[in-house]
Structure 1
Amino acid sequence: MPETDTIVELKRRARRKAILDLIRRRGAVSRGDIARLTHLQMPTVTHLIADLMAEGLVKEDGHCEAELGCTSVARGRRSARLIIDPASAFVGGLCAGPGGVLASVVGLGGKPAAPVRLEGALSPDALIEGLRRAILTAVEGAGLSPAHLRGIGIGLDGYPETSFQEIEDTLKGMLGIPVRAGRDVDAAAVGEGWFSGDSSVLFVQMGDRIRSGLVIEGGIHRGAVAGLGLGQAVIEEREGGRLGSGGNTLQDVASGGAICETIRRELGRGIRSKLPDLVGGDLSRLTLRVVIDAAGAGDILAFNVLDRAGRSIGAALAWAVCILNPDRLLLCGDLVQAGGPLTDAIRHEIALKVPPEWEVERRLTFAPSDEEAFVRGAAALAIRHLFGQDDAENVMCV
Structure 2
Amino acid sequence: MHVTAIDAAPADTGAWLEQAWDPGMTVREWWRLLADARLSNPMLPEPWGRGWSRAEAAAFASEVVRRGALGPPAGIGMMLAVPTILAHGSEDVIQRYVPRILDGQHGWCQLFSEPGAGSDLAGLQTRAQRDGDEWVVNGQKLWTSGGQWADYGILIARTDPDQPKHRGLTYFAFPMRQPGVEVRPLREMTGRAMFNEVFMGDARVADADMIGDYNDGWRVANTTLMVERAGIGGANAAAPSAAIAGTVAGHLDQPAGRFAKPNPGGTGGTAVSRGKVRWLAELARERGRSDDPVVRDGLARLHSLVEITTWHMGRMKSGNAATGGEGNLAKIRNSQMLALALELGCTIVGPGATVTGPDSPTGGELQELNLFSPAPSIYGGTDQVQRNIIGERVLGLPKEPGPSKDTPFRELLKN
Normalised-by-shorter TM-score class: under 0.3
Structure with the bigger percentage of strand:
1
TM-score, length-normalised on structure 1? 0.26
Structure with the bigger percentage of helix:
1
